[in-house]
Amino acid sequence: MNRTKVAVIGSGNIGTDLMIKVLRLSDTLEMAAMVGIDPASDGLARAARLGVPTTADGVRGLIAMPDFAEIEIVFDATSARAHLANAEALAPHGKRLVDLTPAAIGPFVVPAVNLDAHLDADNVNMVTCGGQATIPIVAAISRVVPVPYAEIVASIASKSAGPGTRANIDEFTETTGAAITAVGGAERGRAIIVLNPAEPPLIMRDTVLALIDDPARRAGDALRESIRAMVESVAAYVPGYRLKQDIQITPVPRDAPVGTLVGDRPVTHQVSVFLEVEGAAHYLPAYAGNLDIMTSAALRVAEEIASAQELTR
């Protein structure tokens, strides 16, 4: 199968790690351009050393590149605001966009949950690092029992959060919360991100708390089996993804602050799942699992899009 040519917009941490993954890991994709706006960025310098064509003129520079017409898939690893402009500029050119920002123009995609659902979309959104880590667990719970409410907390090392991540904190919480319901299947969702300044930097940790109604306590074994199977599915493309502790299913006290109702839905138990994500250290150190899960998920989706396109030719 001929390799599908791709471009990466964004020469920061995420874009550079993604470029390296394409070069090292993919038998389906071929790096055709690395795009930035800072001529002195390490990402552009590294791309040039690796023989990848570069431009420091942003999306306009990409469009002006001699081989632009041959590029079929464009990854956007910039910011939510920048992606709005990039998507508009690329729209007339028929490119498929894989959006690693929280802009959420296109449908949400979490590979372990709905990889095949939006392969024909012009612009797919990879939610957020916290979403990629936790939404599969919410989905694993909701396929066993209804989930009136789910809350996730993503804790990442401050050193792994570049300017793009820091500029998108509000969008992170909004986009992740929306995807908890749209993809994870919870009726209501909430997301929290913590930038941990600890030294030495700590590995990415994620907590999923889901409220369910299981008065007879019959769903416990099925829930644990579903969650463990989902962890294995994510680990197939993010090898450092794993359970940190045993899955906990505990009764909700009737006088708990959450009460025994979410909206008008009764809840009897809380499911607590604790995860960690160790990065592959392709660009940043292993503590940056938040970087690795985003780029690994985006790579998986782009490869599937490329394979689907090849079958239709």
DSSP letter, residue 201: P
What residue type is 40 in one-letter code?
A
What is the separation of C-alpha 108 from the centre of its chain, rounded to a whole number of angstroms? Answer: 9
102 annotated to bind ligand: no
Q: For residue 205, is pLDDT > 90?
A: yes
13 annotated to bind ligand: yes
Query: Could you give all domains of the chain from N- to C-terminal order, each with its CATH number?
Result: 4-126+292-312 (3.40.50.720), 129-288 (3.30.360.10)
Provide mean pLDDT across the span 97-109: 96
- What are the tokens at 241? 């993804």
Q: Cis peptide before 66, with omega less than 30 degrees from 0?
A: no
Answer for the pair 267, 213: CB distance below 8 angstroms, yes or no.
Answer: yes
189 annotated to bind ligand: no
Provide mean pLDDT across the span 63-69: 98
Q: What is the pLDDT of residue 312?
A: 64
Provide mean pLDDT across the span 2-25: 96
Catalytic, 129? Answer yes
2 annotated to bind ligand: no
State pTM to two decimals.
0.94
Q: Using pLDDT thresholds of 50, 70 and 90, give the confidence band for residue 260.
A: low
217 annotated to bind ligand: no
Sign, CA dihedral 80-275-24-69, equals negative
Q: What is the mean pLDDT of the chain?
A: 94
Catalytic residue among 129, 147, 154, 203: 129
164 annotated to bind ligand: yes
Residues recorded for the chain: 313
Return the percentage of the chain with pLDDT > 90, whole number. 88
Q: For residue 56, is pLDDT > 70?
A: yes
Return the percentage of the chain with pLDDT > 70, whole number. 96
Answer for the pair 300, 312: CB distance below 8 angstroms, yes or no.
Answer: no
The DSSP bridge partners found for residue 30 are 5
